[in-house]
Amino acid sequence: MPVQQGTVGPIPEGQDPEEYDRLRRRVLWSMPYGLYVVGSRAGERLNLMTLNWATQLSFDPKLVGIGVERQSATHELIEEGRVFSLCLVDREDRAIVRKFTKPVEVDVEARQANGFGFHHGRSGAPILDQAVAYVDCEVRQQVGLGNHTFFIGEVVDSGFQKAEDTPILRMEDTRMNYGG
């Protein structure tokens, strides 16, 4: 199929660029995604942020990858501190992800971010206390991809904080979407 270049990337010949871009976004939005809270830290600065681009990459060593927008505070902290935590959220706690869409207010002494308790993981990254489970990672590699960076972290610790069969939050459990 012949392809023309447009401002929104390659466009099949004969397609209207704006219509095609809307179509691509709808297709990408229908891909299944989880919703997580990612913790980041550099020195004494830390943040917790809602994230949906995460995946396991390798069994040996255990590697996890996350896509983080370059303009975010979390990106700066992960790039500098070289650690992150990925917290799996209980489906019943779906409202919590809206609390972490902007940089958070942190009370280090009380160990709270936007009023939610956290503790420090083995790497030093913050882990949300009410997460179902978490993986704590040290960055091994990063790849710049468009307006995001793909951080690849080796799991240095993990655990369940609620029952293993607790249903995990997914993007489709909310009215949120990101990407496309």
Is 97 found in the same domain as 59? yes
Q: Are 73 and 84 in contact (CB under 8 A)?
A: no
Is 37 found in the same domain as 27? no
Is 167 found in the same domain as 93? yes
The DSSP symbol for 77 reads H
Is 82 found in the same domain as 49? yes
Those residues with Cβ within 8 angstroms of residue 40's Cβ, 6 or more apart along the chain or in another chain? 46, 47, 48, 49, 73, 74, 77, 78, 81, 83, 84, 125, 126
In a domain, 26, yes or no: yes
Q: Residue 23 is part of which domain span?
A: 1-31
pLDDT tens-place values along the chain, 180 residues long: 444 444 556 788 888 888 888 888 888 877 778 899 999 999 999 999 999 999 999 999 999 999 999 999 999 999 999 999 999 999 999 889 899 998 899 999 999 999 999 999 999 999 999 999 999 999 999 999 999 999 999 999 999 999 999 999 988 888 776 765
Number of domains forming the structure of the chain: 2
